[in-house]
Each structure stands twice: as structure tokens, then as C-alpha cells.
């Protein structure tokens, strides 16, 4: 159920971003507000006394700071990738990065690598690619190749780092404060970004971005919290969990775009959805 909730929350993020576009909400401002809200939600959810010194002395603290910086950095890289290479390239690059935590799980944690599971993972990658290509879009990875590569590596490092820190350093009751620290660091970097825009004369406060950021922050925290809870559970190996999580998000987001926003799905998209279902069945049963 934690995995299901993580997929649902991540898909809701997609819906919120689409609504940002429809209601012309400043995405950057909403993103910064979102990180503050996600941090506050994590602090509220933490059921022990909050001690700054205890947090900074925790073994996971530097890792959380690293992830916070990486979160907002990869968001900026994703925005640049969308602008220079298109939405489809950004989607493929970020979701294909699932191979990094999968390989990490197999080699570092000696997770299973049966034929059925390997076939499922390969089908999952094909599903991500096919489901992410929108009708009429041109995929050009050669143009401005740097940013898709950075997005691919950064997204993979985020998932891998979350798994490593959660397994190695974060106690079961420490997930809320760990998540809050990550989002808090991302929020501080975001504020610096807005201050830089202010000095350049590019910043104009938009009140409705507050509402958008609050909504996004609650959902964003939920997606990370449920992913961490799923990783903490012994039901699935991390290589299985990350595969199902990423493919599930792509599949559900694609179907949501069809139902809620009237997006047209090509034959490749439908093939991708079918492959996603098959890959989930193969990987989970393996």
C-alpha cells in the first residue's frame, strides 16, 4: 500500500503541474513554497521532540543536505531540458534513470537477478520510453545532450541516495524528520534563487503561487514519505520497488493525461502502457 500511495502521490504532482500551466501559476515560486510546506509537514509528522543539534549530528544529516541541493538542482536541469529538448526527452531521461538504483540494488545489496525479473526490467524501460513519447513530438537526444545526461544521472543518484540513506542511517521513526530536512535544504536554495531573480529584476510576487505551492508541498512530502516507507518494508527488493514505482508513475500519468486533460495517445503510448502492466507483473511475481 505504501508503494501504491507513492505512485498516486507522484501522479498527483503531474496533475498539479498541469494545473499550474492552465492557471498561469509561477512554477518557480510555487516550487519554493512547496519545499517549505513539505518541510513543515515533515516536522509536524515527527512524533518526537525536535532538536536542531540532534538533527545536525545525525549520521544522515549531510546526506539530507546533499539531497536537498540535488532536488532543486535537478528541477532546474529538468526545466532546461524541457525548454531545449522537449517534454518527452525530459520524461524519458528522468524515468529511464531507474536503471541506476536497480543496478545499485543488485550489486551492493546482492538482490535477485532471475531471468523473469531481468526481462521485466527491460520491458519496463521500453514501456517508459514508449509511454513518454507524445504524439507529434520529435525526440532529439543529440541536441544539447548535456542536460538530458545530467537529468538522467541526477534523477538516478537521488533515488539511489534515498535508498542508501534510508537503509543505512535513518531509523524507522526518523523518516518524517529526514524528509523535512531534505525539503528544508531545498527550500533555502530556492529562496537564494528567488533573491538572485529579485536583484536581476526578474522577480514579481504572485499570490496564487502560494496556494499552488501549499498544495504541491503536501503532495510532494507524501510521495517521498510513502516511497521511504515502502523502501523500509521487506515486501520488495529495492530493484523491484524502483522499477514498479517509476513504471507505475509513467503509466498512470499517461492515462491521467488522457482522461483529465484530453491528451491524445499514439499507438506507441498504448503499447507502452501494455508493456508497463506486463513488466509490473513480471517484476513483482519474480
Q: What is the mean pLDDT of the chain?
A: 89
Domain that holds residue 266: 2-285
The confidence score (pLDDT) of residue 135 equals 65
pLDDT digits 0-9 by tens, 173-226: 899 999 999 999 999 999 998 898 889 888 888 899 999 999 999 999 999 999
138-142, 161-165, 217-221 — which is least confidently predicted? 138-142
Mean pLDDT across the stretch 239-257?
A: 90
Mean pLDDT across the stretch 151-160?
A: 93
> Count of domains in the chain?
1
As a whole-number percent, the residues of the chain with pLDDT over 70 amount to: 95
The C-alpha cell at 88 is 518527452
- Band (pLDDT 50/70/90 cuts) for residue 261 is confident
The dihedrals phi and psi of 26, each to the nearest 5 degrees, come to -65, 110
- Band (pLDDT 50/70/90 cuts) for residue 257 is confident
The confidence score (pLDDT) of residue 141 equals 55
The C-alpha cell at 134 is 507524445
Closest-CA residue to 28 (of 198, 167, 249): 198
pLDDT for residue 253 is more than 90: no
DSSP E strands: which ranges in 122-249? none
- Band (pLDDT 50/70/90 cuts) for residue 262 is confident
* Rounded-to-10 torsion of CA 66, 70, 71, 74: 180
More confident residue, 88 or 258: 258
pLDDT for residue 265 is more than 90: no
The confidence score (pLDDT) of residue 4 equals 94
Give the pTM. Answer: 0.88
Sign of CA dihedral 102, 240, 228, 87: positive
pLDDT digits 0-9 by tens, 5-23: 999 999 999 888 888 888 8
pLDDT digits 0-9 by tens, 61-96: 999 999 999 998 988 888 788 767 776 777 788 888
The confidence score (pLDDT) of residue 136 equals 65
Mean pLDDT across the stretch 107-132?
A: 90
Amino acid at each position: 500500500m505504501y508503494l501504491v500511495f507513492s505512485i498516486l502521490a507522484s501522479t498527483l504532482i503531474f496533475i498539479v503541474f498541469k494545473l499550474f500551466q492552465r492557471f498561469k501559476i509561477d512554477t518557480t515560486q510555487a516550487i519554493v513554497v512547496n519545499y517549505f510546506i513539505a518541510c513543515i509537514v515533515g516536522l509536524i509528522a515527527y512524533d518526537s521532540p525536535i532538536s536542531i543539534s540532534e538533527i545536525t549530528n545525525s549520521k544522515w544529516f549531510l546526506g539530507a543536505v546533499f539531497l536537498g541541493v540535488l532536488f532543486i538542482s535537478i528541477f532546474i536541469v529538468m526545466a532546461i531540458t524541457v525548454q531545449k529538448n522537449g517534454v518527452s526527452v525530459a520524461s524519458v531521461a528522468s524515468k529511464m534513470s531507474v536503471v541506476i538504483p536497480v543496478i545499485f540494488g543488485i550489486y551492493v545489496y546482492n538482490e535477485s537477478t532471475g531471468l523473469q525479473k531481468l526481462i521485466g526490467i527491460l520491458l519496463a524501460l521500453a514501456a517508459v520510453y514508449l509511454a513518454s513519447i507524445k504524439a507529434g513530438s520529435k525526440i532529439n537526444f543529440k541536441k544539447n545532450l548535456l542536460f538530458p545526461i545530467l537529468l538522467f544521472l541526477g534523477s538516478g543518484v537521488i533515488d539511489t541516495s534515498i535508498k542508501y540513506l534510508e537503509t543505512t542511517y535513518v531509523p524507522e521513526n526518523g523518516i518524517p524528520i529526514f524528509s523535512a530536512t531534505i525539503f528544508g535544504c531545498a527550500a533555502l536554495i530556492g529562496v537564494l534563487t528567488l533573491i538572485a531573480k529579485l536583484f536581476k529584476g526578474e522577480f514579481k510576487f504572485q499570490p496564487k503561487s502560494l496556494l499552488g505551492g501549499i498544495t504541491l508541498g503536501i503532495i510532494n512530502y507524501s510521495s517521498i514519505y510513502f516511497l521511504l516507507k515502502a523502501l523500509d518494508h521487506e515486501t520488495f527488493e529495492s530493484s523491484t520497488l524502483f522499477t514498479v514505482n517509476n513504471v507505475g508513475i509513467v503509466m498512470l500519468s499517461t492515462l491521467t493525461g488522457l482522461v483529465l486533460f484530453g491528451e491524445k495517445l499514439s499507438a506507441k503510448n498504448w503499447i507502452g502502457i501494455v508493456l508497463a502492466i506486463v513488466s509490473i507483473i513480471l517484476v513483482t511475481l519474480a
